[in-house]
Amino acid sequence: MYLKSSYEIRDKYLRKDMLPTIFCPGCGIGAVLQYTLRAIDDLELNQDEVVWVSGIGCSSRVPGYVNFDGLHTTHGRALAFATGIKMANPDLKVIAFMGDGDAAAIGGNHLIHAIRRNLDITVILINNFTYGMTGGQVAPTTPKGLRGTTAPYGSFENPFDIAELAVAAGANYVARWSVFNYLQGINSIKKALQKEGFTLVEFLSPCPISFGRRNKLKTAPELIKWYQKLSVPISKAKEMSPEELEGKVIIGEFTDRDRPSLVKEYEAYKKRAKKAMGWEE
Amino acid sequence: MRYPFPVGTVDFIQGDEAIARAAILAGCRFYAGYPITPASEIFEAMSIYMPLVDGVSIQMEDEIGSIAAVVGASWAGAKSMTATSGPGFSLMMENLGYAIMTETPLVLVNVQRSGPSTGQPTLAAQGDLMQAIWGTHGDHSLIVLAPATVQEAFDMTIKAFNLAEKYRTPVILLTDAEVGHMRERVYAPHPDELELIYRKLPANEEEAKYPFGDIHGDLVPPMPVFGKGHHTYVTGLTHDEKGRPKTVESEIHEKLLKRIVEKIEKNKKDIVDYEGYGLEDAEIVIIGFGIVTRSAMRAVKELRKKGIKAGLLKLNVLWPFDFELIERIAEKAGKIYVVEMNLGQLYHMVKEGANGKVPVELIPKIGGEIHTPKEIIERIKDNLR
């Protein structure tokens, strides 16, 4: 991989008339966007054949900033819209940019079913443990005990592990990194974009304004140091006991497999239908 | 092109199946749905036909996802449809609004059953009229059609696709459990007999830059299709002519919404459709839509035999609503009766149209049964006594 300058990436892929972004200082979405664009650039994907889809939230504004076809939809529904796009035109490569609240709460059912179908799509998931756009409410990913405006005394619920959920539901490729895992992040996105079926790359991404300052992590560097403390590489995690892993976040590649994708399965289904009708041998 | 059902001839089929066949003939190649009585037969027929015509029929996790997938497929270039009934229709309100805001052509069939909530799943009603028109939040407009026979269900499905493509809008086909489950003789035209409309595409790169701009002066912007190199951005946020979010500029919001409403309103003449019977000399006019107009027609004929000058106005399009037509009728008639299978929805629109020129009375019925002609006749005769 050759690392082009950020300016080159910006000029090639961003819509200048949409800038500046809505993102706050210290936000991690810009970094993850850059990784995604670098992966696309490195793979030399045709800009005309990639569609970006999103729901609602800070990270869901990303399709508006990139110079591709883009569908900015309703809260949580990105993957359902994406199902229509991909199935109506399988030649398109579809990327969904989602937040943790968007994907795992209001869109939780669409997420598990898109994965179950093995829909051909790459999900880039920004996990900042909170609802950033609406001002820092707790999310289904907020670690127990940490604060949000709707649990000001500390979350009393168990969080979802989205990567593990995606593996269990049947995704072809799942990885999780934090935003400071620069090369691993880009490489995972590249891998995900090249595979058929459902692929998901999750990033722990700082939200100092809505999440950090309520949890004694007021700046992005403080959040990143906290991620370093929290995260355990998957190889190391395999040797740790459940007690040792309590409260930790595992990072790395969770799965990399090649189950038949929805597009492939539907192609076979069409053949089956025509055969059943005696239209084809 | 080979069709998996008879074309250019007649068949004896259910209303739901007629809708599925007509959709295929209209060029629909994407269907997403979720099982629900009494609309499931549309989905089941689509599941048989779609893979045979190289289209897609997919069962989503719920109705929210169904209409979402349909919107996505429409932007990918496919004529797309979903069908549901009351509970699913309620779930679809969210993305129906998205389709209106993003001017996405699609057809949404609501095979009405009795509500609210789960209500009477197998029985017909006309209680979703106001929801069809006004159910999604915010100012908006769309098109609502209502068939009364299986043949009309067939013909109006084709019309629904044509209107959706012509005006870049969602179109609701508001049918009901009776029309949906009834079997009747249907003529399915040969594809060569059909006049099909396809959405206006941008003629060049310059036009493609304004996917939400009235660049032709007809209020309907050309619609770019994903994957053609236009790099179109589509959002449910208030947006300018290029599709860029503009969420606090009141003049941009007003301009966008007024165009979305006016593209329907100003083309009312092209869209509205009705049938009249005996209206020339009618002193009593019955107004209704859908299945119940078949009872009303019988009632009108019986009343005329008894020397009462009755007439029928059967509305085939419920939105845009032809208030002026109602006013013209009100100017001539002595009394208007609105017959509907609910506790009064069309009634209020008719009253507004009649503009106080003539008394308007409601003949409501709920519980899942259609008014009998006798019930309508008795009610009118009671008033004459």
Could you tell me the domains of chain A? 6-276 (3.40.50.970)
Question: Distance, in angstroms, between B237 CA and closest chain A CA?
Answer: 8
Residues of chain B in contact with residue A105, where contact means CB-CB under 8 angstroms, are none
Q: Are B259 and B310 in contact, with CB atoms under 8 Å apart? A: no
Q: What's the pLDDT tens digit per position in A192-234?
A: 999 999 999 999 999 999 999 999 999 999 999 999 999 999 9
**Burial class of residue A137, CB neighbours in 10 A (0-12, 13-18, 19+):** middle
Nearest residue in B to A78, CA atom: B68
Beta-carbon count within 10 A of B295 CB: 21
Residues of chain A in contact with residue B54, where contact means CB-CB under 8 angstroms, are 270
Round the CA-based radius of gyration of chain B to a whole number and report it: 21
Report which secondary-structure segment, H or E, holds B364: strand B360-364
Question: Distance, in angstroms, between A273 CA and closest chain B CA?
Answer: 6
Task: Give residue B1's pLDDT band: very low, low, confident or very high (50, 70, 90).
Answer: confident
Nearest-CB residue to B231 (from A69, A72, A73): A69
CA–CA separation, B150 and B163 (whole Å): 20
Q: What's the pLDDT tens digit per position in A99-145?
A: 999 999 999 999 999 999 999 999 999 999 999 999 999 999 999 99
Tokens of A160: 């979802």
Residues of chain A in contact with residue B69, where contact means CB-CB under 8 angstroms, are 80-81, 83-84, 87
Residue matched to tokens 């050759």: A2
The SS3 call for residue B51 is: helix
Residue A1 has pLDDT above 70, yes or no: no
Residue B300 has pLDDT above 90, yes or no: yes
Stretch A252-263: mean pLDDT, rounded?
98
Which residue type sits at B28? C
Contacts of A102 (CB under 8 A, 6+ apart): A54, A55, A56, A57, A59, A60, A75, A76, A78
Task: Give residue B290's pLDDT band: very low, low, confident or very high (50, 70, 90).
Answer: very high
Q: What's the pLDDT tens digit per position in B66-123?
A: 999 999 999 999 999 999 999 999 999 999 999 999 999 999 999 999 999 999 999 9
Q: Are B276 and B297 in contact, with CB atoms under 8 Å apart? A: no
Nearest-CB residue to B69 (from A69, A81, A277): A81
Nearest residue in B to A21, CA atom: B245
In order, the DSSP letters of chain A are -----HHHHHHHHB-GGGPSPSPPTT-SHHHHHHHHHHHHHHHT--GGGEEEEE-SSSGGGHHHHBSSEEEE-STT-HHHHHHHHHHH-TTSEEEEEEEHHIIIIITHHHHHHHHHHT-SEEEEEEE-SEETTTT-EE-TTSPTT--BTTBTT---SPPP-HHHHHHHHT-SEEEEEETT-HHHHHHHHHHHHHSSSEEEEEEE---TTTTGGGTT--SHHHHHHHHHHHEEEHHHHTTS-HHHHTT-EEEEEEEE--PPPHHHHHHHHHHHHHHHTTS--
Residues of chain A in contact with residue B47, where contact means CB-CB under 8 angstroms, are none
Residues of chain B in contact with residue A102, where contact means CB-CB under 8 angstroms, are none
Stretch B198-218: mean pLDDT, rounded?
97
Q: Are B374 and B352 in contact, with CB atoms under 8 Å apart? A: no
CATH 3.40.50.970 positions along chain B are 9-193
Contacts of A191 (CB under 8 A, 6+ apart): A173, A175, A199, A256
The size of the A-B interface in CB pairs under 8 A is 148
Tokens of A274: 């025509």
Residues of chain B in contact with residue A82, where contact means CB-CB under 8 angstroms, are 72
Beta-carbon count within 10 A of B193 CB: 11
| Spatial CA neighbour of B226 closest among A54, A94, A110, A64 | A94
Tokens of B110: 């609501």
**pLDDT on residue A281:** 84
Stretch B297-304: mean pLDDT, rounded?
98
| Contact between B95 and A273 using a beta-carbon 8 Å cutoff | no
**CATH (residue range B275-384):** 3.40.50.920
| Contact between B64 and A88 using a beta-carbon 8 Å cutoff | no
CA–CA separation, A121 and A124 (whole Å): 10
Question: Distance, in angstroms, between A46 CA and closest chain B CA?
Answer: 9
Q: What's the pLDDT tens digit per position in B31-43?
A: 999 999 999 999 9
Residue matched to tokens 């993957």: A79
Tokens of A75: 């809260």
| Contact between A15 and B233 using a beta-carbon 8 Å cutoff | yes
CATH 3.40.50.920 positions along chain B are 275-384
* B142-A85-A104-A231 Cα dihedral, nearest 10 degrees: -150
Residues of chain B in contact with residue A109, where contact means CB-CB under 8 angstroms, are 61-62, 65
Test the B interface: residue of A67, A87, A280 with most B CBs within 10 Å: A87
**pLDDT on residue B312:** 98
Beta-carbon count within 10 A of B290 CB: 29
**pLDDT on residue B67:** 98
| Spatial CA neighbour of B82 closest among B94, B69, B91, B72 | B69
CA–CA separation, B107 and B105 (whole Å): 7
CA–CA separation, A193 and A176 (whole Å): 15
Tokens of B181: 């489950």
Task: Give residue B21's pLDDT band: very low, low, confident or very high (50, 70, 90).
Answer: very high
**pLDDT on residue B383:** 86
Angle in degrees, 0-180, between the axes of helices B40-49 and B15-25, rounded to the nearest 10? 40
Angle in degrees, 0-180, between the axes of helices B63-75 and A78-88, rounded to the nearest 10? 50
Question: Distance, in angstroms, between A216 CA and closest chain B CA?
Answer: 33
| Contact between A83 and B65 using a beta-carbon 8 Å cutoff | yes
Residue B168 has pLDDT above 90, yes or no: yes
CA–CA separation, A230 and A227 (whole Å): 5
Tokens of B230: 């236009």
Contacts of B255 (CB under 8 A, 6+ apart): none
Task: Give residue B384's pLDDT band: very low, low, confident or very high (50, 70, 90).
Answer: confident
pLDDT exceeding 70 applies to what percent of chain B?
100
Q: Are A189 and A33 in contact, with CB atoms under 8 Å apart? A: no
| Contact between B65 and A82 using a beta-carbon 8 Å cutoff | no
Q: Are B201 and B47 in contact, with CB atoms under 8 Å apart? A: no
**pLDDT on residue B85:** 98
In order, the DSSP letters of B271-290 are H--EEEESTTT-SEEEEE-T
Peptide bond into B245 cis (omega under 30): no
Residue A263 has pLDDT above 80, yes or no: yes
Mean pLDDT of chain B: 98
CA–CA separation, B69 and B61 (whole Å): 11
Q: Architecture of domain B9-193 in CATH? A: 3-Layer(aba) Sandwich (3.40)
The SS3 call for residue B55 is: coil
Give the Å distances, CA to CA, from B380 to B295, B313, B342, B363, B374: 14, 16, 18, 9, 10
Give the Å distances, CA to CA, from B343 to A52, B15, B374: 46, 25, 19
Residues of chain B in contact with residue A49, where contact means CB-CB under 8 angstroms, are 227
| Contact between A64 and B245 using a beta-carbon 8 Å cutoff | yes
User: Kind of pairing, strands A93-99 and A121-127?
Assistant: parallel
Residue B385 has pLDDT above 80, yes or no: no
Phi first, then psi, for residue A258 (nearest 5°) are: -130, 65
Find the DSSP H helices in B248-345: 250-265, 268-271, 292-305, 323-332
| Contact between B65 and A89 using a beta-carbon 8 Å cutoff | no
**pLDDT on residue A213:** 95
Q: How far apart are the first and last CA of chain A?
A: 47
Distance of CA B78 to the CA centre of its chain: 19
pTM of the model: 0.98
Task: Give residue A3's pLDDT band: very low, low, confident or very high (50, 70, 90).
Answer: confident
